[in-house]
Amino acid sequence: MTRFRFTVEYDGRVFMGWQRQAHGPSVQQAIEDAIFSVTGEAVEVIAAGRTDAGVHASAMPAHADIARAITPFRLMEAINARLKPQPVAILDCALAPDFHARFDCTGRRYRYRIINRRAPLTIDAGLAWRVPMQLDADAMHAAAQRLVGRHDFTTFRSAQCQANSPLRTLDRLDVVRHGETIEIFAAARSFLHHQVRSMVGCLKLVGEGRWSADDLAAALAARDRAALGLNAPPDGLSFIGAIYPTLSVGLTGWA
């Protein structure tokens, strides 16, 4: 049995999320079905994160154990051929005997894209959140720093979150404007279900002037989902990279 490490890119719009679901297509199922088609083996593909429905990834690390003798390059090419026309691609494949995509991961990185303009989205439709009202990105960034550190993030946690504890350490939360595009970069060892989207939604309220930094801090301190101002849509969210003790995967565009 050989363990292979994959770097996966996908457009999440047509999927119910990464994890295999009984009620709709998933990225995990697409890759597992492709591997079965290549090798005849029913394997489990384990990823660094479990993205929600509609959420994308530019560099999701994953691994699978395969018995068939095959080189990483041939395996990658064969899987990609069988994934078509689904919007999933294996960008890299390598032998990784001591690698575990989930348990070895010490840092996860997400990027959220807001297009701050009045005109409807065309090219970026489904890949960003259009906000027509002019946003103050500097105010958003300053307020975001109130969330950095170790906190009880119950307010920013989905009611369906299965994590044992709402305590998380947020290493970075940066808001950067490039013209009409605002990018929000979040870094932590791990995140709660909907945490990034919930933080972005509240930062949007700050950018509009409807909330202050103190309002954001008060929502955090409330430790109550009812105190959440807004949950951002999944469209603009992408998993962009992961950190391992001896490896970094992705992080393209990281601020």
**Which are the catalytic amino acids?**
52
Let me know: does 198 contact 228? Beta carbons within 8 Å.
Answer: yes
Q: Which amino acid type is present at position 157?
A: R
DSSP sequence for the chain: -EEEEEEEEE-GGGSSBSS--SSS--HHHHHHHHHHHHHS-----EES--PBTT-EEEEEEEEEEE-S---HHHHHHHHHHHHTTSSEEEEEEEE-TT--TTTT--EEEEEEEEE--SSPPSTTBTTBEE--S---HHHHHHHHTTT-EEEE-GGGS-TT---S-SEEEEEEEEEEEETTEEEEEEEES---TTHHHHHHHHHHHHHTTSS-HHHHHHHHHHT-GGG------GGGEEEEEEEETTEEEE-TT--
- Tell me the pairing of strands 56-66 and 237-244: parallel
